[in-house]
Amino acid sequence: MAIAKYQTKNGTRWRAEIYDNGERVKSRAGFTSRREALAWEEEQRTSKPQPKDLALRDICTLHLLYCENRLKPNTLSYKKTAYRRFIEHCGPDVVFSQLEKSSVDAFVETVAKMISKKTANKYKTELSSLWTWACKEGYAVGNPPQQIDPYAVRKAVKYVPPAADVKKLLMVAKPGFESDFITCILQTAARISEIRNLAWEDVDLERKIITLWTSKRRGGNMESRKIAMSTALHEVLSRLDGLRKAGEKYVFNDPTTGTAYTRTCNRIKYLMRDLCKRAGIAHFGAHSLRHFMATNFHDPYSAQKVLGHQNLRTTEIYLHDLDVDRNAASLFDNITHGLTHETESGAPQQSECEKNSEKVKVRRNKSSTQNMRELSSTHEITHEITHGESSTHEKRATDLP
């Protein structure tokens, strides 16, 4: 038994650890009081002990069952693929608690060579989550995947279709579902899943407001954001509202199932592929339309609200154009123009910077001359006051007949 206190930015927290024959078998942190930590420790000691020497296949199966109702289907599917390939590499019956860093390192290195370094980094992350869960449940101690350094990879650049391609896409979209669905994405900059699951109860035609829901949060919690309707979006939704049948819950209702379209149904899965092929443009996904709309925002904070990001840094990824210094291009033109072009006399033509510098020098010279004149005039006046003599101007005036 061990109860330890530590500090976080949110205040004091407590950690509880359970040892068996000098070996730590369970630990948990984050308790807000010592009493909570002691209660958890007592509960673990009185509960049925967990088996330790389970095979790798059994540990992976238990973790997938744990994640089944906590993760999205596509996330769970990717995790299954990573675990399956790790089992194929190490063997299904190897004891999980006996797996060492060298085994994980060899698997990650094989994936980097056979598939890609980026995939190897992702698999390393998935295995790290497996070990983290196993440590909490008492099946392992330590986390070997966390000790492996990730591979350096080239960061992918998000594709943003040009405005001409988006215009062609809209022109070839058939009236009805295709045109309405693409219009809703463009007029909201929403994720395709948010439009697929848009319900009529979240559409307020009178106030011209729609509510979009996203589950891209830690833990899969659903959160909402409200967006004002544009004129084009209001016209589309008003028309669809007049055409909907009684009992239809979603704006885009799948006629075969009576519910919202799924991400794997053919109408959604091949929508962008067919539209791009029909328009004769490079293929891009529906999420690229979200990037296209985001590049038209010039204020990151307003873009963050519309796009529904919790972190401003995520929004800045979308704002590609804001990362480009347009003034630098003009500066380069001015410098190179002065180097490559010459005047008729053969002398190099002045750049804008040199011209501005000359103007400043002229202004300074004029100002200096004027100041000297003012200083000379002032000196003559003060000399007359102190010495009782006439100034130079007055002397010249008295000499006149």
Residue type, 294: A
The pLDDT confidence band at residue 376, using thresholds 50, 70 and 90, is very low
> Sign of dihedral through CA atoms 116, 122, 126, 128?
positive
Q: Please state which CATH number belongs to domain 52-156.
A: 1.10.150.130
Domain 163-294 belongs to what architecture? Answer: Orthogonal Bundle (1.10)
Q: Which pair of tokens denotes residue 67?
A: 């994640």
Say what the pLDDT of residue 348 is.
52
| Whether pLDDT at 199 is above 60 | yes
- Which sequence spans correspond to the domains of the chain? 1-49, 52-156, 163-294
**CA of residue 191 relative to chain centroid, distance:** 13
Say what the pLDDT of residue 325 is.
61
Which residues on neighbouring strands pair with residue 212, listed in sequence order? 225
Contact partners, residue 212, CB within 8 Å, separation at least 6:
188, 190, 194, 198, 202, 224, 225, 226, 227, 308
Greater confidence (265 vs 26) lies with 265
- For the question of whether the overall pTM of this predicted structure is more than 0.75, the answer is no
Is residue 265 within 8 Å of residue 254, measured between CB atoms? yes
Q: Please state which CATH number belongs to domain 1-49.
A: 3.30.160
Greater confidence (129 vs 396) lies with 129
SS3 content of the chain, % helix, strand, coil (to 5): 60, 10, 30
SS3 6: strand
Pinpoint the alpha helices (H) of 96-200: 101-114, 117-137, 163-172, 177-188, 192-196
E strand or H helix that includes residue 225? strand 223-228
Nearest to 288 by CA among 216, 192, 215: 192
The pLDDT confidence band at residue 386, using thresholds 50, 70 and 90, is very low
Structure confidence by residue, pLDDT tens digits, 129-162: 999 999 888 888 889 999 999 999 988 777 889 9
Is residue 249 within 8 Å of residue 258, measured between CB atoms? no
Average pLDDT, the chain: 81
The residue assigned the tokens 């899969």 is 220
| Distance separating alpha carbons of residues 43 and 80, to the nearest angstrom | 32
Buried b (16+ CB within 10 A) or exposed e, 123-153: bbebbbebbebbbeebbbeebbbeebeebee
